[in-house]
């Protein structure tokens, strides 16, 4: 498994840690409000509660824009309420000018706005500590400073879970949660009942996180192994399809070359008949293209491109072999059909070769699209190390991932082994990919065939598993919350 899977699990655990920390802080503030009803205390309680909800949404979100915006909305409101709690009530009118940013804006603005709010909370709490000479606020201030740093780093996050920016953001976030947890715990140490309840909740979430991560890791490992096996099998399907088309092209080229009407039209240089016959035979034999040349390899007619004639195909392997009187099939590049399966057969009259027939199939996007409909996996064809046909699209959903060069070590490995399965970055996306060598008629490697599956699909399975397990644990905790609270209350009363 790649680093992305482990980072994704660590990120999930980190979001749950944040939810526990903010939940503990909200519980503490609500309990304090019951003892002394103040606006600042209830504002912090609600703010921490919103922040806890936001962390849960961040944890369970797997690419949903609606959940992402909802999480930022809760987090923004939570930070705003916490910041307001540090401002004196007579100064509250100043805060009325603050406008919650629209959540249809870019994510950079969401990270930036919440980062500035977190920075405001850190500054105001530090000011409170200095004014009241109360050092207990220092972990709180430092914790929100790290959370602000994490959010501001998020402005530059591209979503690549293996990037240094993503990892640095998570490290800063972890330090922030740890310091806020330290601030909460210094108060809970004096409250036995609340400590027991929150220790149970934290322990339950911690154990559920460990179980969830262990289960999802095992599951993803199995899914990855099964995916690799499926990729190899489907790469072989693509290879068999190419070989089958080579045999078909060779047989059809020989059959067409023996057509008496075609031979007569070549001898008479009757281009009208040649155009008519070639078009009929290409459709009748379901070929991708059909080209007829004279004895020098000059193109007499292309049934698939009637306006393209007069050029020469001399030098192409299929044409050279046909001019020498042999049928031959290979895979090579031609100016009109590009990389394609090309079968050549001689056209004879009175024992002499008077021309050739070149029939075949282009190895293009339409070809791999048909294979994908059968296998469900993305397919690619490479000429040397460059993709010339593919079914996968870039992040814009319109541009195919063609023209991309794979690393040299992959090409060398395909040359050394029959099949390899590796992780490949195509454009901005990561794929699990199996490669097979693409051989021409002389049994030389001229490119590669590959079947691929986006790693994001595997991550989606992992995230779905994590969400399901987390929801199950939360439901169990809700059922047990009141009995546990009653037990701890009775225990503390007896003590």
87 confidence band (pLDDT: 50, 70, 90): confident
Distance of alpha carbon 287 from alpha carbon 299, whole angstroms? 18
Q: Which pLDDT does position 204 carry in this prediction?
A: 65
99 confidence band (pLDDT: 50, 70, 90): very low
Range with lowest mean pLDDT among 199-208, 274-283, 395-404, 467-476: 199-208
pLDDT at position 271 over 60? yes
Q: Which pLDDT does position 104 carry in this prediction?
A: 37
Q: Which pLDDT does position 324 carry in this prediction?
A: 92
Would you say residue 219 lies in a domain? no
The average confidence (pLDDT) of the chain is 81
Would you say residue 470 lies in a domain? no
pLDDT at position 140 over 80? yes
Q: Do 125 and 240 share a structural domain?
A: no
Q: What is the CATH number of the domain that holds 305?
A: 3.30.450.20
Mean pLDDT on 51-59: 84
Domain boundary among 157, 190, 223: 190
Q: At what angle do helices 138-153 and 164-188 cross, to 10 degrees?
A: 160
Q: Which pLDDT does position 193 carry in this prediction?
A: 53
456 confidence band (pLDDT: 50, 70, 90): confident
Share of the chain above pLDDT 70, in %: 80
Would you say residue 25 lies in a domain? yes
Assigned token pair, 335: 């100016």
Q: Across the strands, what pairs with 348?
A: 353
Q: Do 395 and 303 share a structural domain?
A: yes
Q: Do 374 and 300 share a structural domain?
A: yes
pLDDT at position 493 over 60? no
Sheet architecture: strand order including 352-362: 299-302, 289-294, 352-362, 338-349, 328-334
Q: Which pLDDT does position 276 carry in this prediction?
A: 92
Q: Do 181 and 240 share a structural domain?
A: no
Sign (positive or negative) of CA dihedral 170, 176, 179, 184: negative
487 confidence band (pLDDT: 50, 70, 90): low
Domain boundary among 158, 175, 190: 190
Range with lowest mean pLDDT among 34-38, 75-79, 176-180, 246-250: 34-38
98 confidence band (pLDDT: 50, 70, 90): very low
The 3-state secondary structure of the chain reads CCHHHHHHHHHHHHHHHHHHHHHHHHHHHHHHHHHCCCHHHHHHHHHHHHHHHHHHHHHHCCCCHHHHHHHHHHHHHHHHHHHHCCCCHHHHHHHHHCCCCCCCCCHHHHHHHHHHHHHHHHHHHHHHHHHHCCHHHHHHHHHHHHHHHHHHHHHHCCCCCCCHHHHHHHHHHHHHHHHHHHHHHHHHCCCHHHHHHHHHHHHHHHHHHHHHHHHHHHHHHHHHHHHHHHHHHHHHHHHHHHHHHHHHHHHHHHHHHCCHHHHHHHHHCCHHHHHHHHHHHHHHCCCCEEEEEECCCEEEEECCCCCCCCCECECEHHHHHHHCCCCEEEEEEECCCEEEEEEEEEEEECCEEEEEEEEEEECCHHHHHHHHHHHCCEEEEEECCEEEEECCECCCCCCECCCCECCHHHHHHHHHCCCEEEEEEECCEEEEEEEEEEECCCCCEEEEEEEEEEHHHHHHHHHHHHHHHHHHHHHHHHHHHHHHHHHHHHHHHHC
Would you say residue 201 lies in a domain? no
Q: Do 8 and 130 share a structural domain?
A: yes
Q: Which pLDDT does position 424 carry in this prediction?
A: 83
Q: What is the pLDDT of residues 143-154, one digit of tens each?
A: 899 988 988 888
Domain boundary among 190, 217, 251: 190
Q: Which pLDDT does position 362 carry in this prediction?
A: 94
Distance of alpha carbon 99 from alpha carbon 87, whole angstroms? 17
Q: Do 241 and 177 share a structural domain?
A: no
Q: Which pLDDT does position 106 carry in this prediction?
A: 52
Q: Which pLDDT does position 352 carry in this prediction?
A: 92
Q: What is the pLDDT of residues 366-425, one digit of tens each?
A: 999 988 888 888 899 999 888 999 998 887 778 888 888 887 676 666 665 578 888 888
Q: Which domain holds residue 9?
A: 3-190
pLDDT at position 107 over 80? no
Q: Do 89 and 22 share a structural domain?
A: yes
Q: Do 109 and 252 share a structural domain?
A: no
Q: Which pLDDT does position 103 carry in this prediction?
A: 37
Q: Do 162 and 74 share a structural domain?
A: yes
Would you say residue 213 lies in a domain? no
Mean pLDDT on 297-304: 90
246 confidence band (pLDDT: 50, 70, 90): very high
Sheet architecture: strand order including 378-383: 386-390, 378-383, 445-454, 429-439, 420-426
Mean pLDDT on 293-300: 92
66 confidence band (pLDDT: 50, 70, 90): confident
Would you say residue 231 lies in a domain? no
Strand pairing report for 328-334 and 429-439: unpaired
pLDDT at position 248 over 70? yes
Alpha-carbon separation of residue 31 from 34, 36, 104, 372, 491 (angstroms): 5, 9, 37, 59, 18
243 confidence band (pLDDT: 50, 70, 90): very high
Would you say residue 202 lies in a domain? no
Would you say residue 211 lies in a domain? no
Q: Do 127 and 49 share a structural domain?
A: yes
265 confidence band (pLDDT: 50, 70, 90): very high
Could you tell me the pTM of the whole model?
Answer: 0.61
Three-point CA angle 121, 126, 130, nearest 5°? 150
Find all residues with CB under 8 Å of 373, minimum gap 6, and list them: none
Q: What is the pLDDT of residues 170-196, one digit of tens each?
A: 898 889 888 888 887 777 655 555 555
Q: Do 138 and 24 share a structural domain?
A: yes
Tell me if 17 sits within 8 A of 9, measured CB to CB. Answer: no
Domain count, the chain: 2
Q: Do 271 and 149 share a structural domain?
A: no
Q: Which pLDDT does position 207 carry in this prediction?
A: 66
Stronger pLDDT, 223 or 169, i.e. the higher one: 169
Q: Which of 359, 381, 360 is nearest to 372 (CA)?
A: 381
127-141, 321-335, 411-425: which is most confident: 321-335
């Amino acid at each position: 498994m790649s680093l992305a899977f482990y980072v994704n699990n660590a990120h999930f655990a980190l979001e749950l840690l944040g939810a526990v920390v903010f939940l503990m802080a909200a519980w503490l503030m609500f309990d304090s409000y019951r003892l002394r009803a103040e606006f600042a205390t209830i504002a912090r309680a609600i703010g921490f509660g919103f922040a806890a909800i936001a962390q849960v949404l961040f944890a369970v979100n797997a690419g949903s824009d609606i959940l992402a915006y909802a999480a930022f909305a809760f987090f923004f409101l939570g930070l705003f309420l916490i910041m307001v709690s540090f401002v004196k009530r007579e100064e509250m009118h100043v805060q009325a000018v603050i406008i919650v940013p629209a959540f249809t804006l870019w994510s950079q603005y969401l990270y930036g706005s919440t980062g500035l709010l977190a920075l405001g909370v850190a500054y105001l709490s530090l000011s409170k500590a200095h004014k009241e000479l109360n050092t207990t606020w220092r972990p709180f201030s430092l914790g929100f400073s790290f959370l602000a740093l994490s959010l501001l780093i998020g402005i530059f996050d591209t979503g690549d879970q293996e990037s240094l920016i993503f990892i640095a953001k998570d490290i800063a976030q972890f330090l922030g949660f740890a310091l806020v947890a330290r601030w909460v715990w210094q108060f809970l140490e004096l409250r036995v009942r609340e400590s027991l309840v929150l220790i149970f909740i934290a322990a339950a979430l911690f154990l559920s996180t460990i179980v969830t991560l262990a289960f999802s890791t095992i599951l993803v490992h199995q899914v990855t192994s099964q995916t690799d096996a499926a990729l190899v099998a489907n790469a072989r399907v693509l290879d068999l399809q190419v070989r089958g088309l080579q045999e078909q092209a060779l047989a059809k080229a020989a059959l067409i070359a023996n057509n008496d009407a075609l031979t007569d039209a070549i001898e008479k240089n009757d281009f009208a008949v040649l155009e008519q016959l070639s078009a009929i035979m290409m459709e009748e034999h379901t070929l991708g293209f059909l080209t007829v040349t004279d004895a020098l390899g000059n193109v007499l007619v292309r049934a698939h491109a009637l306006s393209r004639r007069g050029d020469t195909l001399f030098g192409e392997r299929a044409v050279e072999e046909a001019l020498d009187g042999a049928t031959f099939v290979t895979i090579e590049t031609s100016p009109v059909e590009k990389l394609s399966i090309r079968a050549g057969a001689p056209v004879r009259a009175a024992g002499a070769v008077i021309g050739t027939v070149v029939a075949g199939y282009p190895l293009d996007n339409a070809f791999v699209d048909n294979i994908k409909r059968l296998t469900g996996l993305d397919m690619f064809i490479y000429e040397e190390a460059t993709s010339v046909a593919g079914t996968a699209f870039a992040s814009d959903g319109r541009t195919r991932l063609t023209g991309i060069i794979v690393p040299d070590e992959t090409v060398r490995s395909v040359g050394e082994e029959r099949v390899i399965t590796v992780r490949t970055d195509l454009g901005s996306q990561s794929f699990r990919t199996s490669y097979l060598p693409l051989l021409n008629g002389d049994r030389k490697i001229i490119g590669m065939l590959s079947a691929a599956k986006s790693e994001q699909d595997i991550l989606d399975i992992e995230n779905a598993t994590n969400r399901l397990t987390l929801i199950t644990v939360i439901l169990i905790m809700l059922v047990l919350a009141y009995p546990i609270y009653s037990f701890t209350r009775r225990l503390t009363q007896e003590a």
